[in-house]
Chains A and B, each alone.
Chain A
């Protein structure tokens, strides 16, 4: 079943004091099936983050539409947009975006608190998730007291706790060392195995190799896509690297 569908998405930035226009997204079309783990790869400035921002309703598209579960996102009223973001989307950011003034536990519970969830339910949802992510011994610490990998796992927990339809991850391994990255991707893979849909933007072929499908984006358009199929992560990683090589060399040739 198609969970997320993106049709003809276009985004043009206009500088505030001139008519100069920058096209961030030209015409993006793709869809994500329920339970998929999809990676989007591309060079800096290729429009990955813009795309993710539009999907996460942090930004508006110039034209085109994003459908989640068949509902167009642009039809959501301004008032409901925060609640929508809270309840249907989960976010994992490159720089964690944890709040220093909350304990790990409170950071994870934040979206639930904002939705005024009953206390008992918060507690019951919290424990399985932190146990799963191996951070249950840290929940009373503060973010500046734990390592980067642990912080990102906290961010994942925060994304998971609302039981979102889809998790949007923006370079989740970007600020982590290789061991922590490996660990995090294994966790994301595990979550995906249990049926959670994840859309991830990444630079790292290693991270992308954990996904079932990789989309390559260049100059604001989906350029190429490959499926993992039955391949092992390592084999898939080689294919991703090859594709990237082809992508960049062809790009140069084009110019």
Chain B
């Protein structure tokens, strides 16, 4: 019990530490907190059941309930004090060790500091004091409401065969369906962040209920199927599991949830890390990227500056002895609005109830130059791309113009998938200015809408020359002299990305490790406690003629439950989490589904293998206890 808390506490620490990161880790804190409550109560109820006899004896020997309550109070006081202190210390030590090890293994550019704060320690102490308080009250109530004779027999008294509650079962399905539904129907990443927590919570509660009620249903159904039930292995294991299904269900649900967490945490972070190169390419399509921001007071200035800067950049490149390998540049204008009856209605900004659509307008010449296509457009025609592809009308009105639309694929940026977006390729730059005028008429105060430009280029040459160019471009276009431009070099960004993503990978693996340890402990504890419970049963059965092969067979048939069920359900959970996680991954710029699918499968298999090993070892322990 003590050990378990140690790991949980450590967990808590990490969580608290990373709570400065996004809400994602806040979820972690809550989940771990919830989990430790359930786990300690589960452990406690088991331990106290074994001690009933002892307490009953005290009662018979003349101790009053008052005294017993006192004994229990001091016992729990000392044990909780000891566990909290030892837990904090071990948490500190283990946390540092693990961080050191992982830092070493991952060879991170900057080591991640393992920091502890008084706040996190305080929160941990508060939580566990509360939990121990709860268990104490539960224990006292157990003994206060029972007479000594009952207590003496308490251990033999079987749990009543649980009645599978249909309501609970349906409720669990509803909760799961709701959680899954959130994940599947999530429209965009921003909504995903908000709803992720709710979905996780729903699925966790749903899982517990499903295991508690669903497993009883399945077991009862199996029991009623005489052909299956009346075989030695099934006979022993099914009835055994029905007998203490409540404990069993909670244990299995714990394992299942932990398994889901391991899989999601590890696979997403690995994906983020593997996808880093791709992410960089998405974010920075070229080695050198110059972004020009339009001047509010003189919008048309961009039309000349755009070409000037291109020439300047090329000149600078050649000055440094490099050749331009590829170059891409375009002007664009971005603004928000909503699609209403074939018209794009402007909105001033992002605020408002309905999330507006981001529209990016690009002149045709830049689009053709960028993609190498050869589109031609009449004055009232436009190329159209819509990220959700829900707008299917042939025409679209913007301001005082009406365009006939030709649909095209996303040739622009992966960011377009981020939120609902539209790209509109208009015949020439004058259209951008017209749209801007229309927009300004509606919102005279607005100062957001300008024509911007992007210039990206790859160069060929020696590393040294490239570095010089980076420095040169940096001083030329970043901040300083001209505040209307921004320069970013992919090389410079790369390091930053790797350190951030490395951090995520690190946290993912760390969490994965902790959850795996949690799984290990639960499985071990479950097997050992059931082993002691079943020992007598198996001895009786041996007397009436159960041989060792059959004991093996019956433990083997438990594998289906113990091993496959949590893994399968965890896999289902994760599959349903896929849409929402995918959306979340978009935030990190990962767009390659295959990478994530592959890592996902790899992690599931790896976890199944680890769990299989855990299971093998613990079932050996079980077998040796029973025998």
- A: residues with CB less than 8 A from B are 56, 58, 79, 81-87, 89, 91, 93, 97-102, 106, 109-111, 113-116, 119, 122, 142, 144, 158
Contacts and interface: CB of A to CB of B under 8 A. Distances in A.
B107 interface: no
A110 to B, nearest CB: 6
Contacts of B548: 82
B157 A144 contact: yes
Interface string B517-554: 00000000000000000000100111111111010000
B114 interface: no
Contact of A101 (B242, B545, B547): B242
A126 B227 CA distance: 16
A84 B542 CA distance: 12
19 contacts: A81-B547, A82-B545, A82-B546, A82-B547, A83-B545, A85-B544, A97-B540, A97-B543, A98-B540, A101-B537, A106-B239, A110-B235, A110-B541, A110-B544, A111-B545, A114-B232, A114-B544, A119-B227, A119-B230
A99 B540 contact: yes
Contacts of A102: 239
A63 to B, nearest CB: 24
B177 interface: no
Nearest to B537: A99
Contacts of B227: 119
Contacts of B244: 101
Given A82-B548, A91-B543, A122-B230, 18 more contacts: A79-B547, A82-B547, A82-B550, A83-B545, A86-B544, A91-B544, A98-B540, A100-B158, A102-B239, A110-B541, A110-B544, A111-B545, A113-B232, A113-B235, A114-B232, A144-B157, A144-B158, A158-B544
Given A91-B543, A100-B158, A114-B550, A106 B226 contact: no
Contacts of A119: 226-227, 230
B546 A114 contact: yes
A58 B546 CA distance: 12
A56 B232 CA distance: 22
Contacts of A144: 157-158
B240 interface: yes
B75 interface: no
A108 to B, nearest CB: 11
Q: Which 10 A-B pairs have the closest CB atoms?
A: A86-B545, A82-B547, A101-B243, A100-B158, A85-B545, A97-B540, A113-B235, A101-B239, A82-B545, A114-B232
B389 interface: no
Contacts of B156: 100
Interface of B: 156-158, 161, 226-227, 230-232, 235, 239-240, 242-244, 537, 540-548, 550
B517 to A, nearest CB: 31
A11 B370 CA distance: 98
A142 B161 contact: yes
Nearest to B153: A144
The DSSP consensus for interface residues of chain A is helix
Nearest to A98: B540
B291 to A, nearest CB: 71
A100 B242 CA distance: 11
Contacts of B541: 99, 110, 114
B153 to A, nearest CB: 10
A87 B543 CA distance: 12
A197 B235 CA distance: 30
Contacts of B235: 106, 110, 113-114
A86 B549 CA distance: 14
Contacts of B537: 99, 101
Contact of A111 (B242, B243, B544): B544
Given A82-B547, A113-B232, A119-B226, A101 B540 contact: no
A23 to B, nearest CB: 25
Given A58-B543, A81-B547, A101 B232 contact: no
Contacts of B240: 101
B243 A100 contact: yes
B544 A113 contact: no
Contacts of A87: 545
Nearest to B244: A101
A113 B548 CA distance: 15
Given A81-B547, A97-B543, A100-B243, A116 B231 contact: yes
Contacts of B243: 100-101
B238 to A, nearest CB: 9
B232 A83 contact: no
A97 B537 CA distance: 9
Contacts of B226: 119
A113 B157 CA distance: 25
A158 B544 CA distance: 9
A102 to B, nearest CB: 5
B296 to A, nearest CB: 79
B627 to A, nearest CB: 13
B540 A114 contact: no
A142 B550 contact: no
Contacts of A84: 545
Nearest to A114: B232
Contact of A142 (B158, B230, B545): B158
Contacts of A115: 545
A109 B235 CA distance: 10
Contacts of A122: 230
A98 B544 CA distance: 10
A100 B541 CA distance: 12
A97 B538 CA distance: 11
Contacts of B550: 82, 114
A83 B547 contact: yes
B80 to A, nearest CB: 33
Nearest to B540: A97
Nearest to A99: B537
A116 B547 contact: no
A82 B158 contact: no
A244 to B, nearest CB: 29
Nearest to A96: B540
